[in-house]
Amino acid sequence: MSSAAQSAVETIQREMTVFARRARASAGRMHPELSLVSYTLLGHLEESGGCRATDLAAHYALDKSTVSRQVAALERAGLIERRPDPADHRVQVLDLTAAGREILAQVTRSRRAAFRDRLADWPEADLVRFASYLERYNAGPDGTDTD
Amino acid sequence: MSSAAQSAVETIQREMTVFARRARASAGRMHPELSLVSYTLLGHLEESGGCRATDLAAHYALDKSTVSRQVAALERAGLIERRPDPADHRVQVLDLTAAGREILAQVTRSRRAAFRDRLADWPEADLVRFASYLERYNAGPDGTDTD
DNA sequence: GACCTGAGTTGTACTGTGCAACCACACCGC
DNA sequence: GCGGTGTGGTTGCACAGTACAACTCAGGTC
C-alpha cells in the first residue's frame, strides 16, 4: 500500500471517530426526545419493514441484552410493537406503531434539514460519491466489523 | 437540492451512524487496554503536540467535566502528564509521556492493520477522495457541529 | 480593590453497554 | 415420541461515559 493510501487510511480512521463523537452530542441537543440509539433502531425498523431484536443486535454490533432493553423502552413508550412470529414461537417480530412512525418522521425531518445545511455547498457528484464510499465501507469486503 | 442529492444525504447520515456504533464495539475487542475515548484523546495530544483539556472538550463536543475525568484517569495510568502553563496559571498543558506514546503507537499499529485489511481492495484514488470528504465534512462550512 | 470571565474539579445522577445466568421454545438424531 | 443441543430473548449485575450544576482558583478590567 502506497504512503498516500496509508495516510488516507489514517485520516479516514481519525475523521470517522471525530464524527462519531460529535454525532452523539448533537443528537442530544437536536432531538432530546429520541436518543441516537432509539432513532437508529426505529430507522432500521422502518427501513427493513420490521425485524427481530437479534437482527438489530447483529447489524449494530450490540449485545442482545442491550437491544432487549432498548426495545422494551421503545415499546413502553408506544413507539414499537412486538408481534410473536406464528412460524417460530421464540421469535418476536418488531414493528413501528403509528406513533413511532410519526416521531421518527419528525426527527428525520429535523436531522435531514441539519445535514442538508451542512452539506449545502457540496456538489451533487461529491455527495453521491461520499455516500457510496460509506456504504461500501460498511458493507465491508466480507461483512467483517473491523471498525 | 435534487432528489439524488437528498437521498445521498440520507445515506451519509445512516451509514455514518452504523459506522459509529460498530466502531465502539470493535475498539473494545481490538484494544481493551485503551478505550476508544482514551485512544482518541491520546491521538489528539500526539497530533497537536500537547493542548489544554478545554481544547479537547471543544474538538470532540464533550463536557469539560468529562474530559477532566478522562484526563485524570490517563494521568493516573501514567500515559499523559500535566504541565502548568507558566504564562497562565489557570491552564494545564497536557502532553504524552513516553509510556503514553508507546501504547498509543502500539494501538495505532493494530488499528491501522485492521483498517488496511478492510480497505485493501480500494483503489488509492478512492481512499484519498474518501478521506478528503470526511475531512471536509468534519471541518464543516463554518465549524458547526451539525452531526 | 471589586467584579466578571475562563479553566478545571467534584458531586450527583442517569444512560448505554456487556457479560453471565437464565428461560422457553425449536430443531435434530435416534 | 424424546432427550440433547441450539437459538431468541430477558434479567441481574457491574461499570464506563456522560451531562449538568455548583464550586475554586487565577486573570483581566475598570
Cβ of residue A139 near strand C, that is under 7 Å? Answer: no
Return the number of other C-beta atoms located less than 10 Å from residue B39's C-beta: 20
- Per-residue pLDDT tens digits for B58-77: 999 999 999 999 999 999 99
Q: Do B15 and A135 touch (CB under 8 A)?
A: yes
CA distance B77 to B81: 10
Contact predicate A19/B20, CB 8 Å: yes
Determine the Cα angle at B22 with ends B126 and A10, to 5°.
Answer: 40
Q: Do both B1 and B73 map to the same domain? A: no
Answer yes or no: do B25 and B52 share one domain: no
Task: Please state, in angstroms and rounded to a whole number, the distance separating the CA atoms of residues A135 and A142.
Answer: 13
CB B8 within 8 A of CB A124: yes
Contact call for B11 and A129, based on CB within 8 A: no
C-alpha cell at A89: 414461537
* Statement: the CB of B79 is under 7 Å from strand C: no
Query: C-alpha grid cell for residue B77?
Result: 495510568
Same domain (yes/no): B3, B75: no
Please check whether residue A105 touches B, CB under 8 A: no
Domain that holds residue B109: 34-121
Do B3 and B44 have their domain in common? Answer: no
Q: Is residue B141 part of a domain?
A: no
Asked if residue A89 belongs to a domain, the reply is yes
What is the C-alpha to C-alpha distance for residues A70 and A36, in angstroms, rounded to an integer? 11
The per-residue pLDDT for B60 is: 95
B143: left (phi over 0), alpha (psi -120 to 50) or beta: left
Q: Does the residue A2 lie in any domain?
A: no
- B142 part of a folded domain: no
B47 and B116 in one domain?
yes
Q: What is the mean pLDDT of residues B104-111?
A: 93
B4 touches chain A (CB under 8 A): yes
How confident is the model at residue B122, as a pLDDT?
94
* Measured CA B89 to C1' C1 distance, in angstroms: 21
Average pLDDT over residues B87-93: 93
Instruction: Judge if B83 and B117 occupy the same domain.
Output: yes
Judgement on whether residues B13 and B57 belong to the same structural domain of the protein: no
Are B71 and B94 part of one and the same domain? yes
Is the same domain home to B9 and B50?
Answer: no
Q: pLDDT at position B141, please?
A: 62
Q: Is residue A15 part of a domain?
A: no
Residue A19 lies in a domain: no
Q: Is the CB of A26 under 7 A from strand C?
A: no
Beta strands in B69-132 (DSSP E): 80-84, 92-96
Measured CA B110 to C1' C20 distance, in angstroms: 29
- Distance, in Å, from the CA atom of A134 to the CA atom of B141, rounded to the nearest integer, reads 20
Nearest to B26 among A6, A10, A61 (CB): A61
Q: Do B49 and B94 fall into the same domain?
A: yes
In a domain, B19, yes or no: yes
* B20: chain A residues, CB-CB within 8 Å: 16, 19-20, 23-24
**Statement to judge: residues B21 and B49 lie in one domain:** no
Q: Distance, angstroms, CA B91 to C1' D7? A: 55
pLDDT at A13: 86
Give the pLDDT of residue B10: 87
Tell me: pLDDT of B114 over 90.
no
In a domain, B54, yes or no: yes
What CATH number has the domain bearing residue A52? 1.10.10.10
Cα B27–chain centre separation: 12
The verdict on a CB contact (< 8 Å) between A124 and B5 is yes
Residues 6+ apart with CB under 8 A from A29: none
Residues B42 and B86 in one domain: yes
- What's the structural domain count of chain B? 2
Per-residue pLDDT of chain A (147 residues; tens, 9 = 90+): 688 888 898 888 889 889 989 999 999 989 998 999 999 999 999 999 999 999 999 999 999 999 999 999 999 999 999 999 988 999 999 999 999 999 999 999 999 888 888 899 999 999 999 999 999 999 876 544 444
Cross-strand bridge partners of residue A74: none
Question: Please, what is the Cα angle at B62 between B58 and B65, to 5 degrees?
Answer: 105
Asked if the Cβ–Cβ distance from A15 to B118 is below 8 Å, we say no
